Chain A
Amino acid sequence: MNGLAVLIPIALGLGLLGLAAFFWSLRRGQFDDLDGAALRIFVEDEEETAP
């Protein structure tokens, strides 16, 4: 029973953490461009050219 008192809050807390992380990423627009995100790893940063 004592173990439960620790474990259940931990389980719920971790779940809530995941939920909060999901909402955060949703608000930051991480899911707005799913196909583009897959392609962006191929985009190379522009080299700095002398002005």
Chain B
Amino acid sequence: MTAVALIERDFSVPDIRCAGCIAKLEQGLVRDRRIASARVNFTEKRVHLSCVPDAEMPDLIGAFTTLGFEAHPIGDALGDADPAAAGSRELLRAVAVAGFAMMNIMLLSVSVWSGATGATRDLFHWLSAMIALPTIAYAGRPFFRSAWRALRHRQTNMDVPISIGVLLASALSLYETATHGPHAYFDGAVMLLFFLLCGRWLDSVMRDRARGGITALLRNMGTGAMVLGDDGKSRWVDATALEPGMVMLVAAGERLAADGDVIRGSSRLDLSLLTGESAPQLVRPDDRVHAGTLNLDAPVEVKVSAVGADTALADIARLMGEAAQGKSRYVRIADRAARLYAPAVHALALLAFVGWMVIGAGWHQSLLIAVAVLIITCPCALGLAVPAAQIVAAGELMRVGVLVKDGSALERLAEVDRAMIDKTGTLTLGRPEARDLERLDPHVQSLALALAQASRHPLSEALTRGLQALDVARADVHAIRETPGFGVEAKWSDHVVTLGRPSDPIEGDALATQLSIDGALVATIRFADRLRPDARAAIDALRADGIDVSILSGDRAAAVAPVARELAMTAQTGMSPQDKLAALARQSVTHKVLMIGDGLNDGPALAAGHASMAPGSASDVGKNASDCIFLGDRLMPIVATLRMARRTQAIVRQNFALAIGYNVIAVPLAFLGYVTPLVAALAMSGSSLLVVGNAMRLKRAIR
């Protein structure tokens, strides 16, 4: 083997579920001689490959397919330093440093509290200072930075009292140490940082985890198309490298990677992700087609007319940018609490200082008490109250297949009192399902399964899924041959059976396929999108929880009416993305609206909603714009998420109450000067443990 520079590539493989999958992938992939090594990251459901530079994307994906896994390429792994992941690693380092310092200072402090005096106490205080000061300078940076930013904008947040408390406490402790005083608060200051950093880190881990899951779902990243060259040969071109004028070959079952005009072939396109329309659209040469639509029927050649930001997407992206501004005005609950809390704390500390000065305790004694008040009121428990509860809730939701993007999403979800739902792909499955399969003769069923399994056509796949659900055994056929655009043909004993597009157009423009034996028609199988299995139950549960639900659909009224009737919902139909946005804005005046949708056309509404959810099958735009994503075919996770969000909010409020209750007891003690460093350490860790323990009650809250 020659030494060639290997290139690194990352793939998202959502189906990694067990140790067996890890073994199969890592050992199976390297059998392909183009792949030098493969490493599975189970947590993020990714596979990292080192492969030879001339390995083409379809070949690599093919290597996954032969092992029975579906893989989607994600960006370039090379030097892909993710800023957010780097941020949480930075925080983890700070947690480790603060933890180390806290333990060692505590070791020294305990000996001081147990009665060390004189030179020993001074030595221990100096040692504490030597450990604490660099630690505070290093681990305190996230707080100092954020406090400084807030102060510069003449605002205040949680970090302002934290920074002032920590800095004042260390300065005063240093003075105490230098003047052989009895009390140094180094342990208190470092412990405070440690607990708060834990809270910060939890918050950032939660965001990372959700982002990892969402990247795995964004299948359109790194897609591309087979492009027909001048020499008549076709090669794979990445979506980013497509240029206007290129000719794409789009097979049945593929999504278009760019906008363009059909130049050869005719087919039907599934527009549901783009417009919400459920009926497929017939396209012929010279018709304009859009990126993101799915080719259903036959291969077509498309001349690319616009790529990237010039596609039909651009309009929607602009609308979304405007819509998202409203959401950025939301202030998180911890910051709302800080607005009241920070001035109160500072006023109390100042009051303590002035009070003791007036009584005549001297500035040193007064300052010591003021610092004790600051340390004891520092929102240690408050800093943990919110992230601890939210990360437990998000972990639980992830277990049932809901990815929550960040903590503020959970807060906003809890406030929702009205929901607007898109129809195609959200209330319905958004993919064709074969109908009335159980009415077919058993031998027809088994023949259909045998033929459908041989094809990757979307309708064949739907048929396979439907028949396998009925436990149909596959008929014994041979000499299977697929003709793109027409169907599958095979020999069954000495008959010729075909499964393919109907010879005459079926009434309406419903999707259908026909099975014939020796040219004689035996069965016509129709396909239609259908409701998600638990749609009715989920809608009823939402109503029971006091949430009004209505449909916002881009589809025609005739297609929406049966769904609305079955679910007993009101519906607005034929809406453009602008219409949806406007409808949402009207409701937002008096209500907090949850938008649930999947399509590109729902993007602006998803971005504008007080909170938003999208199914895992949604368009990338939909997934990016929404606050949380539920996986699978069921709608019940929506209900579970809303209930969990409300429970989380209740726990957060309890945590605030606990933290405030603790302050009510501790502040008078600090005021009276009874709070020594020992008391401060006990109070701080006690209240933090209490708050974390309360948050843990959310574990196993779903069933």
Contact = CB atoms under 8 A, between A and B. Distances in A.
B43 A42 contact: no
A34 interface: yes
Nearest to A38: B42
Contact of B27 (A32, A36, A42, A46): A46
Interface stretch (B89-97, B362-370, B496-504): B89-97
B100 interface: yes
B104 A33 contact: no
B462 to A, nearest CB: 33
B22 A43 contact: yes
B341 to A, nearest CB: 33
A8 B130 CA distance: 13
Given A16-B100, A46-B27, A39 B18 contact: yes
Contacts of B18: 39
Interface residues of B, number: 25
A44 B93 contact: no
Interface residues of A, number: 25
B127 A40 contact: no
Nearest to A36: B42
Given A26-B89, A33-B43, A42 B19 contact: yes
A50 interface: no
Contacts of A36: 22, 40-43
A51 B40 CA distance: 25
Contacts of B120: 1, 4
A22 to B, nearest CB: 5
A34 B43 contact: yes
A8 B127 contact: yes
Interface string A1-25: 1001000100110011011001100
B104 A40 contact: no
A45 B586 CA distance: 61
Contacts, number: 55
B44 A39 contact: no
A11 B104 contact: yes
A39 B103 contact: no
Given A32-B43, A35-B42, A43-B22, A23 B100 contact: no
B100 A33 contact: no
B88 to A, nearest CB: 11
B23 A35 contact: no
B109 to A, nearest CB: 13
A46 B28 CA distance: 10
A40 to B, nearest CB: 7
Contacts of B41: 32-33, 36
User: Top 3 closest A-B pairs, CB basis?
Assistant: A36-B42, A42-B19, A39-B19
